[in-house]
A and B are shown apart, each in its own frame.
Chain A
Amino acid sequence: MSRVTVAGSTIIAGIGQTEFSKHSGRSELQLAAEAARSAIADAGMTPADIDGMVTFTQDSNDELLLMRSLGIPELRYWSRTPNGGAGAHTTIQHAALAVHGGAAKAVLVYRAFNERSGRRFGQPNARVTPPGWNWYLPFGLDTPAKTYSLGFQRYMFRYGLTNEDFGRYTVVARRHAATNPNAWFHQRPITLEDHQCSRWIVEPILRLLDCCQESDGGVAMIVTTADRANDLPNRAVKVAAVADAHINDGNIMFNYYHGDLAEFPEARALGRQLYEQTGLGPSDIDAAMLYENFSPVVFLQLEALGFCGPGEAAAFIAEGNIDLTGTLPVNTHGGLLGEAYIHGLNNILEGVRQIRGTAANQLSSPETIMVAGGHSGLILQPAG
């Protein structure tokens, strides 16, 4: 069965962002507008070139107010993607399919929030609101750290891991952030001892330093067709593959109903879909930006995406494979733990920078980069 893919036909033409902070001091709409302004300029475009918009369903910014703020004269297409950070890369899929199919010529993708100085994702829910949460909130699963840990604990049990194993990932992420001026934790590396001395958030799974940041900031990208790659002021980056994989009985926050929770079947399906679209395999990936609201998600993804075998992620990380000089550098910007938590969209910017050759921790001419968030993900390559 053939399927429509965007492989080779769409590019990320521009990237933009605000500073990443804990208190932006301005509205979320202003953050969105500033990030978008930067991305449009980076693509060598004007607001009149933008005729589509995609953001998260969770984004608070009204498209029409952003349109007015930027002076975009006419819009042909907009879309939003569900599932929070698990759907971060789906924004690119929507944008890419829109330009690939002719619904729009150039689509602005954005996400902006005051997620530290405004509503903090890490704080407990006060009451049941969304449908289906009766199965969880009355029993105390009132923070993302807890809801995800109920799965991580099974992974630790299955493979005999301790929290110290997760700490070895955090040390790497913070080392990468330490040399990234864009990162909140720039010049602030940690040791494994620092990690082990940080307080429990969910015993015996997560300590404070296993948790992503809460951040204020905005990021934006411009997606357009590959035929424009040679007209741009900056190196265009090809969307070689993009997918959003879900399986029956799956869930985002409460993914408790499939087989053994030591596995991440959605990420396995995502990897299969991305590899099918490109004909590539795990060994073809030069570096990976892996969404980590919490450190164990990196372990589950490394295994599910085929970078190592089941239960091997702890050794894979301990042996240095995800370091800048390793076989598969991971989260070269410091990830959501080290750089900032812009709901995962900042990971795509790092992938683009690595392909362009403009990353703070620049790898040696990477040709193929995966950016993945468990359910959704993409593969980036140089255009042309």
Chain B
Amino acid sequence: MARVIPPTVDADDEYFWDGVKEHRLLLQTCGSCGTLRHPPVPMCGRCHATDRGVQEAQGTGHVHSWIISRHPSEPDDQARVVVLVELTEGLRLVGNLVDTPFDQVRNEMPVEVCFREIDGVLLPQFRPRSVEGPVPMGSPT
């Protein structure tokens, strides 16, 4: 199994990790003008409002870039594919690609979010998505 460094949640990102607990991928919105943003910041750079909301992401997107992540000195720390996903909403999010052999990873491949517990940490992950249409969020993984 891969070893996971757990997040240290703070006031600016707890909405995200609260969402993960419910298998929901939440994006921050400006509570005033509605601008979506990721990573979050405590003030809207467009209108300066500090009130914020969340919007559940469709959970779909495609791979902008990717790497294979291995620990340099601990081979029992299983390799993972790290992906930078361009979400359908237009924001980018780092995650891992699962259910995919390393030699099948491609730029621009369609993916959808799923939630997996790895090394005791529940994380949003991504898996290949058939191009017919998105799978509803929160589906069993």
* Residue positions of A touching B, CB distance < 8 A: 122-129, 131-132, 134-143, 146, 149-151, 153-154, 157, 200-205, 248, 254, 256-257, 261
Complex A-B, nearest 6 residue pairs according to Cβ-Cβ distance, in ascending order: A140-B69, A134-B7, A154-B65, A153-B65, A137-B5, A157-B107
- C-alpha gap A365/B16 in the complex (Å): 57
Q: How far is the CB of B84 from chain A (nearest CB, A)?
A: 5
A256–B92 CA distance with the chains assembled, in angstroms:
7
Whether A139 and B107, one on each chain, are in contact in the complex, defined by CB atoms closer than 8 angstroms, is no
* Residue B127, interface by CB 8 Å: no
B45 contacts A by Cβ under 8 Å: yes
Residues in B whose Cβ lies below 8 Å from that of A203? 67-68, 70
Whether the Cβ atoms of A202 and B5 lie closer than 8 Å is no
Minimum CB distance partner of A204 in chain B = B68
Q: Please measure, in the bound complex, the distance between the C-alpha atom of A5 and the C-alpha atom of B38, giving whole angstroms.
A: 35
Q: How far is the CA of A131 from the CA of B42 in the complex (A)?
A: 13
Question: Size of chain B's interface in residues, with CB distance under 8 A?
Answer: 34
**B65, A157: Cβ atoms closer than 8 Å:** yes
* A interface secondary structure, majority: loop
Task: Give min CB distance, B74 to chain A, whole Å.
Answer: 9
Interface centre among B5, B17, B92 (most CB of A within 10 A): B5
Q: How far is the CA of A248 from the CA of B2 in the complex (A)?
A: 34
The reply to whether the CB of B54 lies closer than 8 angstroms to some CB of chain A is no
> A150 CA to B65 CA in the complex, in Å?
6
Residue pairs across A and B with CB atoms within 8 Å: the count is 100
Q: How far is the CA of A157 from the CA of B93 in the complex (A)?
A: 19
Report the Cα distance A311→B17, complex, angstroms: 39
CB-based contact A138/B72 at 8 Å: no
Tell me if B94 is interfacial: C-beta within 8 Å of chain A: yes
Closest Cβ of chain B to A58, distance in Å, is 21
Most buried by B among A135, A204, A248: A135
Task: Return chain A residues, CB-CB under 8 Å to B39.
Answer: 132, 135, 257
B62 to chain A, nearest CB (A): 12
For the complex with contacts A146-B82, A151-B65, A154-B64, 20 further pairs of A-B residues with Cβ separation under 8 Å are A122-B72, A124-B72, A134-B8, A134-B10, A135-B13, A135-B93, A138-B123, A140-B2, A140-B69, A141-B94, A146-B67, A150-B67, A150-B82, A157-B107, A202-B68, A202-B70, A205-B67, A254-B94, A257-B39, A261-B84
State A157–B8 Cα separation when bound (angstroms). Answer: 33
Does B80 have its Cβ within 8 Å of any Cβ on chain A? yes
